[in-house]
Structure 1
Amino acid sequence: MAQHFLLSPAAKTLSLAKVLRMSDEDAKSSFRALRWASTDGEPVCPKCGCLDHSDLKRPDYWQCKGCKYQFSMTSGTIFHSRKLSVRDILGAIAIFTNGAKGYSALQLSRDLCITYKAAFVLCHKMREAIGAARDEGALSGNVEVDGAYFGGYVKPANRREDRKDRRRKIHQSGKRQVVIAMRETKGRTRTGVVSNEAEGVALTRANVQAGATVHADEAAHWDKLAAHFPIKRINHQKAYSQDGANTNAAESFFSRIRRAEIGTHHHVAGKYLAAYATEMAWREDARRTANGSQFAMIVSAAAIAPKSDAWCGYWQKKRQA
């Protein structure tokens, strides 16, 4: 039997020990080289793009001679207003990368001896950077479309006579959401979060190139796609794959996100469900990429991602609210 990729030497090109043993200067040099690659790591003002700057007394801080803006190597990036050292941030990215089924904020906080709040925001900043760097082009070729429900669990009553039929809408919480997965055969995965699977029709039309062949199950709402794409249908009560029609790649993605929910995060629903779905789509697409390359991808994405309006000062905003 062929060896699984994750067990092969080709999958392991990143040494967490080497990352955590880096000196502060080495870590800063590595991050600067990625952020300001066009100037070989020389600082560029994130506000006006000026190359002329002067050093400030505070280490690794500069003042732009053009607009007088004071900045650091992480100013204007996803790690704007950071408190952690650059080495710890690189270590967090390496740990996050190695989580094949995701990595929980609680475990990261224990690994780096930081607060849960800091780890929670750090993980979500990495997810935002990944999402911003992903290819947003329309999917083409054979595209498999399917949906899966998350959240909205209603705990049954203790006594049997008090239990309700949770299949009825009146007895549901209204918090259940659907992740729509659109996946090219041996290609990219795109996701979206909607309130019901029927809304996946509009999402598919917006993200799939005209002329692509769409594979879907027998749910009635997917019938509308036939007016826009060549479509193949699969009846899962009869087979998982038949006459070239299947949604196995989409189901593989849902298997990954379910494992992340059950074994790692335990709760991926709510307003951050889209962020978890984006992370898992990236992990699924990069599953045959060495962890060293994955690490470089996340660091590069974080170095060029803009300041996060959602996550910069997140807990301070929560307190004010």
Structure 2
Amino acid sequence: MKDYGSEAQCEEALVAARWSHGFECPHCSHKLAYEFRRRELRYWQCKACRHQVSLRAGTMMENSKLPLTTWYLAIYLMTQSKTNIAALAMMRQLGITWKAAWLMKHKLMEAMRQREENQPLQGSVRVDDAYLGGERTGGKAGRGSENKVAEEPCGRDCRI
């Protein structure tokens, strides 16, 4: 909240992340632009080709009416949860509708997937025990079930 507690702080963080080396027109790659506001939103107009771009254009927040503070808090909630956070929990935490929380969650998961897509796991990868098999009636449920088969270690240094 100290770093991203206000809309202005979130805007500055997004500008720094998006154009870390200064503005660059997505249309012609020109470096100079006029900055202006329209209905509370920041825009840049390229001095060369006059192409206009908003701060959110081309991001997962492009057509969202939710404030950036809500988006940044959702990013925090998604990244700090060891287990997946439910859209219902996000709805309660952020004070938004379930539909908005569900869409936001899936946009964030897709962005994380795209970010990690080109970085496959390497080296020795260790996974906690896993039980394979479907449900059968009767017998003990869970870890000690006779109906489940523990996955055997591969016996050598497993690589993906």
Q: Does 1:33 align with 2:13?
A: no
Residues 88 and 98, structure 2, Cα contact 8 Å, conserved in 1: yes
Please identify runs of 4+ aligned residues in structure 1 that moved more than 4 A.
137-146, 236-239
1:33 deviates by: 0.9
Which residue pairs with 1:44 in the alignment?
24
Which residue pairs with 2:51 in the alignment?
69
Q: Does 1:122 align with 2:104?
A: yes
Q: 1:100 & 1:122 partners in 2: Cα distance?
A: 18
Q: Deviations over 1:192-246 (max 9, x none)?
A: xxxxxxxxxxxxxxxxxxxxxxxxxxxxxxxxxxxxxxxxxxxx9698447x348
Distance 1:47 1:76, change over 3 A: farther
Distance 1:237 1:89, change over 3 A: closer
Q: 2:8 & 2:49 partners in 1: Cα distance?
A: 27
1:108 deviates by: 0.9
If asked which structure has higher relative contact order (CA below 8 Å, sep 6+), I would say: 1
Q: 2:67 & 2:88 partners in 1: Cα distance?
A: 19
- Unaligned runs of 5+ residues in structure 1 are 1-16, 154-235, 251-321
Normalised by the length of structure 1, the TM-score is 0.38
- Unaligned runs of 5+ residues in structure 2 are 136-147
Q: Deviations over 1:78-133 (max 9, x none)?
A: 22222111122111111112221011112111211112121111111111111111
Residues 105 and 119, structure 1, Cα contact 8 Å, conserved in 2: yes
Q: Deviations over 1:129-177 (max 9, x none)?
A: 111111525655556899x789xx9xxxxxxxxxxxxxxxxxxxxxxxx
Distance 1:55 1:107, change over 3 A: same
Which residue pairs with 1:56 in the alignment?
36
Higher helix share: 1
Q: 1:71 & 1:119 partners in 2: Cα distance?
A: 26
Q: 1:104 aligns with which of 86, 102, 126?
A: 86
How many residues are paired up? 144
Q: 2:116 & 2:88 partners in 1: Cα distance?
A: 26
Residues 56 and 62, structure 1, Cα contact 8 Å, conserved in 2: yes
